[in-house]
Structure formats: structure tokens, C-alpha cells
Structure 1
Amino acid sequence: MNNEDPVLVHTEGRIRHITLNRPRAINALTHTMVLRIDEALAAAERDDSVTAVLLSGAGERGLCAGGDIRAIYEDARAGGSTSVDFWRDEYRLNARIARFPKPYVALMDGIVMGGGVGVSAHGSIRIVTERSRVAMPETGIGFVPDVGGTHLLASAPGELGTHLALTGDAVGAGDALLCGLADHFVPSEHLVDLSRDVAGCTTSAEIVATVRRYATAPPVGALAAHRDWIDACYAADSVEEIVDRLQNCGVPAAKETAETILVKSPTALKVTLASVRGARRLGSLEAVLDQEFRVSCAAFTRPDLVEGVRAQIIDKDRNPQWSPARLAQVSSADVAGFFEPLGDRELGLARDASATG
């Protein structure tokens, strides 16, 4: 094992450890990392001496800040296609994690955003800490929640998932648990001891019992107290009506939320709402990932992705010039174009799952 590798894999006891190892980039995912994780999971699945997999991130800042946005930006500007290849393999990895036949323990400590959610929140044992900040912030860069994120958010209670999808807000441990993005709260100071004790487990039941022994009540989240206006406002059929309800419901926090939404990409907002609503209808993760792949491929060719990354990541002027600039200028036909079938370029996860039973 070379400590310079972007993904470190080693076995301790009966646990296969997978460590994301780009700490200076908050372990942002590259295509190489996705393939390496997939390879490690395939090996762990075949190895009868491995009881479970444990995913963690190197450094103090977080598990994973998402995909390598700069690489996607450069690829889109150049008219390339490597990002599409990356997403194809990344979404297949997300599906593998969700169906992994052994316990998949994800330590969601620190920043867990975008692609970081994809490699953790589909796992079977998802642990957050007091340092966790979990988010799908794609609308702020002219993109749409992916990596199975719309599946997760569509399953959140009431309209909490719609709220998080449109705003891109990050949540702490309590709200991550409330929204179904995590399973257990463990103080960060106990993660080393938990990892050590899990290594001695020989069965899935022992692993679950060990995690529960370390788990405690999480800090109180913020979302539960706002459920009334969130559920009422986000139940609207369009982004325009959601914003109108937020602005006029008489709750200061709701009005502030409307202001947050209105600085996001109008196109990304409308496509995101359609994606979350579509995910509810589709049901299975594989079908949702297929939908997200179509949307991501379409977004890759639209101007808002490049402009959003430029404004937020490259130039950092925080002043994106969205095209079109207003919600009213994004038509139903514009939104529908993001969901058009891709023919022989389809991801095909739902088809493959059906074929294998």
C-alpha cells in the first residue's frame, strides 16, 4: 500500500478498510478513485475472510467534498466526454454500494457532499458525528443532485428532501438522521475506538451491536421545528409557486429560504424539482440513477454548469450569470429535454438489475 495512492485499502481483523486519500482536496473523487473503490468492493465481496467494509476519509476536514469539479469544468469547456465516462462508473458504484451483501460502514465525519454522499449514504451502516455537514449543493453550480441523491432526498419525510435539493443547504448530524441520510450518531472522538472494536467482529450482528454500543443521541437538528412551513410551501407544483409560498407564508426563515433559492441556477432548480418528483415515482435506486445519468449528460452540455463552477470554484466571484437568468424563462420543454432517452448511451442499471433478478 502506497500512502500516496488516492484510495488506501487494507485489512484489519475481518474488516476491509477503504480510505479516501486526497486530504488537501477534502478527498474529492476522481475517476481513478471510483474505479479503485469498485475494485476493492468486488474483492471484499469475494473474500470469505472479510466480514464488512469500512469507508473513511483521510485528514481532518471530511469524508469527501464531492466529485472533482475542476476536472468536470475543464472537460465541459473543452467539449470533452471524460466526465460522462466518470459518471457512468460512479453511478454504477453507487448502485453496488447499495446492494453490497456485507455490512458497509461509512464514517460520514466532517464534510460529506455530492459524490461523498454517493459513496456513503447508500451504505447499510451510516455514521455521522458532531462535525458532519451533509449536503447535495449542486443547484449552486448549475448542476442537479446526482449519485442517487434524488432517490435519498425523495425518501425523506414530507418535503424535507425537496427543501435540501433546491437550497443545497448542508445539515448536521441530527437533521441527517431525520432525513434518512444516516443511521447513527457517534462522537468523533470515539471513531478510532469504534473502528478498532469493529475489526474484531466476526458476524454482521456483532458489527451492528458494536456500532449501537458507541452510538448516542445526536445534537438537536434545525429542520424538525420548520416542518410546517417546509411541507406546506414545497408541496407546490412548480419552483415559482414554491418561492411564492415561501415569500408570503409569514415566516421569516421561509422568506430567507426563498432568497437562497433565487440565487441558484433557474434551469437547475426546475430540473431538480422534476428529478426529485420523478425519483418518488420511479422507486428503485437503479431506475433513479438511470434518470440522473440522462440529466447529468444533458447538464454537461448546458452553459450553467461551466458558469456555476467558474463563479463558485474558479474565479470565486460568487456572481454567476445564469442562462436563462429567470425562472419564468425556463420552459417545460427546456426541462423535459434533460430527461430525453440516450439510446445506446443509456446507463441501463434498472435493465441490468431486472435481468439478474
Structure 2
Amino acid sequence: MSAAEEPVLFHTTGHAGRITLNRPRALNALTHTMVRRIDEALTAWERDPAVQTVVITGAGERGLCAGGDIRAIHDDARDGDGSASAAFWRDEYRLNARIARYPKPYVAVMDGIVMGGGVGVSAHGNVRVVTDRSRVAMPETGIGFVPDVGGTRLLALAPGELGTHLALTGTQIGAADALLCGLADHYVPSDSLPDLLDALTGLPAAEAVAGVARTPPQGVLAASRDWIDACYAADRVEEIVRRLLAHGDPAAKETAETVLSKSPTALKVTLASLRRARRLGTLERVLDQEYRVSCAALTMPDLVEGIRAQVVDKDRRPSWSPRTLAEVGDADVERFFAPLGERELGLAGE
């Protein structure tokens, strides 16, 4: 395999260690190999005094990373025993935790599309840059899955009920809203990114970013806080939908229709995950919970069906099972949180 074909590229320039996700035709979707190699590079650079800053970017024009390789997860859940996906998540979630605790500046350039696993390798960093092209989302409920990669902790920490809104709907947000929700730290116009990357080779990360950071164009979420906070404060998805439909703002009614298009099971498990994440405290404890939930999702029909409809056949017409929120009982939700025994991720105990 030539260097250009490697799924993730590494090089150092000046004081910066550069990670480039290099699957542009797949929107830089993460594979297990990529996760392992990023972890190896972080180990080497943590010990290398010449590397003072780590910078992650995505190849191509479309974005940093659209998430994990969900086609592989689909095939494993449908035709395999789920062990490959569980092994991938085990290493991916450990990488997410490592990024959050990395002792050197970790600069994530969240340009273009940043979704799912892409959020996991960026939004846990300590210097997170969004641009005018950023489209950040956790869209898992649309494929019968639940926000993972520490996403339930990130969203649980967002102001008010903004995180609940983003988690249930999978809504894509731009730079200002990513800053508002705590998913990013700085706005840099996309045409200034070359200047930023050049500055990072010689300047401390904070100084390099400060030289090009600007005030972002206005977002949309701040003006919707009244109905978002009121409607999503409910503890049951059915009640959230009822409040959205009853609210006078047309955007609230449209949002209810969006929620109702998602997997009923995934919606209820996502809401439970977020509420529990608020109480769990540390990222490691949340990742342990997410690992339980993700492994359980492998055994449920909606994950395979959701990926089929959105990514494989692309008919956008998933047939969820169960089909309605009323058919998903508390016991159905609780099974996603069942302990895994010897298969636990176990980050919180390390």
C-alpha cells in the first residue's frame, strides 16, 4: 500500500504532530486499523519532547470524519457474531478517553462534516476548532443506534436540554451552535485554516489559534431555547413528542415529526443514556455505559435495518421493530444497560 493509500497519515512538522484521516471517498470514516494507529502515534508523541502539539484533520474537501465504518458494523451484526464490532468499539472508546486526558494540546480541526465517531476523535480534545463549513452531529437514532464515543456525556453537559434535542433528532449544527453546546472552543474561517496549520508548527497551540480565531456567524439554537428546554425536560420520549406537538412554535412541531421518524427503541435508550450520563460524572464511566448499550444494540433488529435503509440500500425507509414508542417498554430499555461481566469495557476501574 502506497503512502497515499494509507487510511491515516502521520507526520511531524516543526513542533506539531499531524494526524490526517485519509479515506476521503468514505468521508474519512474510522476503521479499527485507523483507531489503533492513532493510538500508537499518540503514545509515541506523548513521549517525544520535540512534539509539543498534536493536530488532527481530514483529507479531502468534505469533512473531518463522518463516523465509524457502519457498513462493517452492519455486516458484522447481520452475518457475524458481533465480536468484530465490539472489539472496534473497545479500542475506539479507549482512544476517546485517551484524547480527553492527553497531556499535550490536541487540536481538532472540525472542518466540514463531523459526525458520530468523528465527534469522538475531536470533541474530547482540549483545542477544538470549528469553521464556517462545520456540520456537527450525533445522528445515531436514525440508524437504530445510540450516541456513543462519549457523545452522551458531551450532550448531557450541553446547556439546558440542547443536548437532548441533538441526541434524539440527530440535527446537524454549525459553528456557533457547536460553541454554544460545548462541542467546540474556537471559530476559525475555513480560508484561514492554512494559516492556522502553519502557525501550529512553531507557536504554542493557544497562541496559534488566537491569531486566527474570530466571532462566528449567528447560530439557530439560541433563539429556540425556550421551546427546546421546555419540551425536552420530560423524562419520557412520548411526553417530549406530546409537548413538541402542543407547542405553538412551528419549528417544534416539525421537530416532533423528525423525532417520530427515528427508531423508537433507539430514542428511548438514548434518552435513558443521557439522563444516566448526567449522574455518572466521569467520561470513563459514561464510556463504560455506552459500551454496554452498543453491544446490546448489535443484537437488536433496528441497527441492521437502520444502516440498511440509510447507507446500504439508501431507500430511507427503515422498518423499525417495534414500530411505535408505546411498544417499547421499560424492560426493553433496561436490557441495554445490563452488565457484561467479563466483557465490560472497564475504563472507570483503571
For the criterion TM > 0.5, the same-fold answer is yes
Q: Following the alignment from structure 2 to structure 1, what is the Cα–Cα distance between the partners of residues 23 and 209? A: 26
Residue equivalent to 1:170: 172
Q: Following the alignment from structure 2 to structure 1, what is the Cα–Cα distance between the partners of residues 235 and 343? A: 31
Q: Following the alignment from structure 1 to structure 2, what is the Cα–Cα distance between the partners of residues 177 and 207? A: 18
Q: Is the 8 A contact 2:133 2:190 kept in 1?
A: yes
Deviations 1:28-85 (A, max 9, x none): 0000000000001011101111101000000000000000011100011113210010
Deviations 1:163-217 (A, max 9, x none): 000000010001000000000000011111111111012xxxx320220121000
Residue equivalent to 1:219: 217
Residue equivalent to 1:322: 320
Residue equivalent to 2:35: 34
The structure 1 residue matched to 2:106, chosen from 96, 104, 107, is: 104
The structure 2 residue matched to 1:295, chosen from 290, 293, 298, is: 293
Q: Following the alignment from structure 1 to structure 2, what is the Cα–Cα distance between the partners of residues 199 and 79? A: 45
Superposition pairs for residues 315-354 of structure 1, below 5 Å? 315-352=313-350
Superposition pairs for residues 132-147 of structure 1, below 5 Å? 132-147=134-149
The structure 1 residue matched to 2:206, chosen from 191, 208, 224, is: 208
Q: Following the alignment from structure 2 to structure 1, what is the Cα–Cα distance between the partners of residues 41 and 75? A: 29
Matched position secondary structure for 1:222 = coil
Displacement after TM superposition at 1:130 (Å):
0.3
Displacement after TM superposition at 1:260 (Å):
0.2
Q: Following the alignment from structure 2 to structure 1, what is the Cα–Cα distance between the partners of residues 234 and 220? A: 22
* Matched residue type, 1:333: A
* Matched residue type, 1:124: N
Paired residues, number: 348
Q: Following the alignment from structure 2 to structure 1, what is the Cα–Cα distance between the partners of residues 3 and 122? A: 24
* Matched residue type, 1:250: G
* Matched residue type, 1:35: R
Residue equivalent to 1:92: 94
Residue equivalent to 2:155: 153
Residue equivalent to 1:24: 25
Q: Is the 8 A contact 2:245 2:252 kept in 1?
A: yes
Q: Following the alignment from structure 1 to structure 2, what is the Cα–Cα distance between the partners of residues 291 and 272? A: 12
Q: Following the alignment from structure 1 to structure 2, what is the Cα–Cα distance between the partners of residues 73 and 8? A: 26
Matched position secondary structure for 1:3 = helix
Deviations 1:119-139 (A, max 9, x none): 000000000000000000000
Deviations 1:268-296 (A, max 9, x none): 00000000101000010000000000000
Residue equivalent to 2:64: 63
Residue equivalent to 1:131: 133
Displacement after TM superposition at 1:336 (Å):
0.3
Q: Following the alignment from structure 2 to structure 1, what is the Cα–Cα distance between the partners of residues 313 and 205? A: 46
Displacement after TM superposition at 1:332 (Å):
0.2
* Matched residue type, 1:137: P
Structure 1 moving runs of 4+ over 3 Å: none
* Matched residue type, 1:165: A
Residue equivalent to 1:311: 309
Identity of aligned residues (%): 73
Deviations 1:305-330 (A, max 9, x none): 00000111111111111000000000
Q: Is the 8 A contact 2:107 2:205 kept in 1?
A: no
Q: Following the alignment from structure 1 to structure 2, what is the Cα–Cα distance between the partners of residues 282 and 197? A: 38
Residue equivalent to 2:119: 117
* Matched residue type, 1:276: L
Q: Following the alignment from structure 2 to structure 1, what is the Cα–Cα distance between the partners of residues 80 and 268? A: 24
Q: Following the alignment from structure 2 to structure 1, what is the Cα–Cα distance between the partners of residues 57 and 86? A: 26
Deviations 1:139-162 (A, max 9, x none): 000000000000000000000000
* Matched residue type, 2:319: Q
* Matched residue type, 1:108: M
Q: Following the alignment from structure 1 to structure 2, what is the Cα–Cα distance between the partners of residues 14 and 313? A: 40
Matched position secondary structure for 1:349 = coil
Residue equivalent to 1:196: 198
Residue equivalent to 1:179: 181
* Matched residue type, 2:175: A
Matched position secondary structure for 1:126 = strand
Matched position secondary structure for 1:130 = coil
Q: Following the alignment from structure 1 to structure 2, what is the Cα–Cα distance between the partners of residues 307 and 181? A: 29
Displacement after TM superposition at 1:5 (Å):
0.7
Residue equivalent to 2:9: 8
Q: Following the alignment from structure 1 to structure 2, what is the Cα–Cα distance between the partners of residues 18 and 181? A: 20
Q: Following the alignment from structure 1 to structure 2, what is the Cα–Cα distance between the partners of residues 219 and 161? A: 21
Superposition pairs for residues 260-275 of structure 1, below 5 Å? 260-275=258-273
* Matched residue type, 1:251: D
Residue equivalent to 1:355: none
* Matched residue type, 1:282: L
